[in-house]
Amino acid sequence: MATEEMDGGRALIRALEQEGVDVMFGLPGGAILPVYDPIIDSSIRHVLVRHEQGAGHMAEGYAHATGRPGVAMVTSGPAATNIVTPLCDAYLDSVPMVVVTGQVPYAAIGTDAFQECDTTGITQSITKHNFLVTEAQDIPRTIKEAFHIATTGRPGPVLVDIPKDIVDPVNPRSAMTWTDDVEMDLPGYHPQTAVDLDLIAAAADLMRAAERPVLYVGGGILKARAADALRALAELTGIGVVTTLMARGAFPDSHELCLGMPGMHGNYTAVTAMQESDLLITLGARFDDRVTGKLDGFAPEAKIIHVDIDPAELGKVRRPDVAIQGDVRVAIEALVDELSGNGTGDADRSAWRSRISGWQERYPLAYEPWVPGDPLKPQFVIERLRDATPDDTIVASGVGQHQMWASQYWTFDHPYTWINSGGLGTMGFSIPAAIGAKVAFPDREVWAIDGDGCFQMTAQELVTATVENIPIKVALLNNSYLGMVRQWQEMFYDERYSEVFLSPDVPDFKMWAESMGCVGIRVDDPDEVDVAIAKANEIDDRPVVIDFRVAASEKVFPMVPSGATNSELMVPGFQEGQPR
């Protein structure tokens, strides 16, 4: 067995290398300083961010795009608190991520030392697990455990807090012996991936008998690399698929069985098909309140099959008729085996299929067409961008109206092409997340679709993108408002607009982009849209920001008002009055 005497800082970097880390996002500071020295000699690329929140979202973007854990490293105190938001974001969206934070020397913990905060205490409820390492010798094992926990079972963020003295070579407490084979010690962690075949058979029976079944699929499909298995199941059974906000791309939008996105801003067919269904085959989804609307009135006639790797999701919100714990890909493959072997049943679904196609015909996703004199339509911008970019373009979105329009009007035909903040709803997510994805896939087009409110929260990371040569592109849908809040105030607060107007002129986004080393383009009219996108597509050596000045009055439809059932879905004015 090879052993080597070294210090905890070098051991930390070597342990990260052994986990296969090729890039990490971070920003150094006092407590983590000793670990930054061995980075100079490491094979790991370090991307120097301008704010620690950026490091966390970049790691998330990297993880969303690749399925591999994203890694961020920052110092103690304010740096640790700055990365709290990405940790919570990753927790709610089950993103595998490992965050290393510096901490004051072990002996100083609890003394309110400079840049001390209780990082593990603060992050306890927003990480899958966290560690405070107290001995240099424990560093390699802890890193191994952190990656194991982050990437197995239901993925999630893991934080490792490292006191300075155990990584600082001048401190004797940093001395340790490296050995190549460290063993994990996690007696309480045993994620279960296998599925119970009796329950698979019971689920298959429900599927055979159902006359109005819907496959309700969530982000778990992507986490489990189960998109191909899902497609096989849908095609074998002919059952339509709704893809939640976290699952866009898990099933091709262009597929005839794709019903689109359900939920508060889902399309009419997806929402209504779930609502009228007699069987929801729920795969890696969690009955989020944005999907169910008022829970009491959600899919009242539906039986529920629920497959989830996390047993606590089964029955948390809606009581399942068949609850299957395990890896969703294993479950789907078992269902395909069972249904191919014993038949898919002979339930008559012709009436259901014709109702679905009726909804699709009467209530397509649509917006009021532009007429001369109107300001630019944000939906139109997304459609043009969609049509002018390659099929495998990765789209990262912020949070708000632009996020919903992007999800609605983009055509996601490939998994891992849509990256957004679904659970936490973190404004400012898109630019750093796009950077993380572009670092992972430098040869693919990566567009951030952002709003002007979001942009002003994390735009400084475009400096990172320029300096580190990560040429992402940003489509800024700028309506000078916190648009989603404005929409609620218009619809539910009698048009009393409170603190939602930003400014049409300040900042000047084009100048701001240029000052950060990006190409800045401003677009006011529809006929400039294609030209601007074409120009952006030609640029590959620096980031591009297109400031699309779009209509402030445009609202996201359909919409289920907060507190209403999904049967009360509001459609745009010109679709009202049609038979439902």
Site membership for another protein, residue 189 (CB under 8 A) = yes
Please list every residue from 315 through 344 that binds another protein, using CB under 8 A.
315-316
**Known catalytic residue at 484:** yes
Positions in 421-450 near another protein (CB under 8 A): none
Q: What mask of x and - would describe binding to another protein in positions 292 to 311, judged by CB under 8 A?
A: ------------------xx
Which residue, 88 or 204, is less far from another protein as judged by CB?
88
Count of residues interacting with another protein (CB under 8 A): 18
Looking at the DSSP bridge assignments, the partners of residue 395 are 418, 447
Given the complex with another protein, which of 196 and 310 has the nearer CB atom?
310
User: Which token pair is 121?
Assistant: 């205490």
Rounded to an integer, what distance in angstroms lies between the CA atom of residue 234 and that of residue 226? Answer: 12
110 sits near another protein (criterion: CB under 8 A): no
| Catalytic residue list contains 164 | yes
Q: How far is CA 190 from the centre of its chain?
A: 25
Q: Is the Cα dihedral 432, 434, 435, 441 positive or negative? A: positive
Q: Over 435-463, what HEC string results?
A: HHHHHHCCCCCEEEEEEHHHHHHHCCHHH
Q: Can 555 be counted among the known catalytic residues?
A: no
- Any contact of residue 105 with another protein (CB under 8 A)? no
State how far the alpha carbon of 199 is from the alpha carbons of 334, 370, 372, 568, in Å. Answer: 10, 52, 59, 34
From candidates 107, 194, 295, 312, binder to another protein by CB under 8 A? 312
**Closer residue to another protein (CB): 9 or 156:** 156
In the complex, minimum distance from the CB of residue 124 to another protein, in angstroms, rounded to a whole number: 5
Q: Report, in Å, the least distance between residue 146 CB and another protein.
A: 10
**Cβ-Cβ contacts under 8 Å for 205 (sequence gap 6 or more):** none
115 part of the active site: yes
Instruction: Identify the residue among 73, 132, 160, 502 touching another protein (CB under 8 A).
Output: 132
Cis peptide before 558 (omega within 30 of 0): yes
CB 105 to another protein: min, Å: 17
The residue (of 319 and 353) whose beta carbon lies closer to another protein is 319
Binding region for another protein (CB under 8 A) out of 180-188, 277-285, 347-355, 416-424: 180-188
**Which of 6, 18, 115, 135 does the annotation list as catalytic?**
115
- Please list every residue from 112 through 131 that binds another protein, using CB under 8 A: 120-121, 124-125, 128-129
Residues 6 or more apart whose Cβ sits within 8 Å of residue 16: 24, 42, 44, 71, 143
The span from the CA of 408 to the CA of 402, in Å, is 10
Q: Does 151 bind another protein (CB under 8 A)?
A: no
Given 25, 53, 58, 164, the catalytic residue = 164
Side-chain half-sphere CA neighbours of 352 within 13 A = 20
Place of tokens 């890896």: 327
Q: Is residue 525 packed enough to be buried (19+ CB in 10 Å), middle (13-18) or exposed (0-12)?
A: exposed
Q: Is 186 in the site for another protein (CB under 8 A)?
A: yes
Residues with a known catalytic role:
52, 114-115, 164, 484
Q: Which residues bind another protein (CB under 8 A)?
A: 120-121, 124-125, 128-129, 132, 149, 186-189, 310-312, 314-316
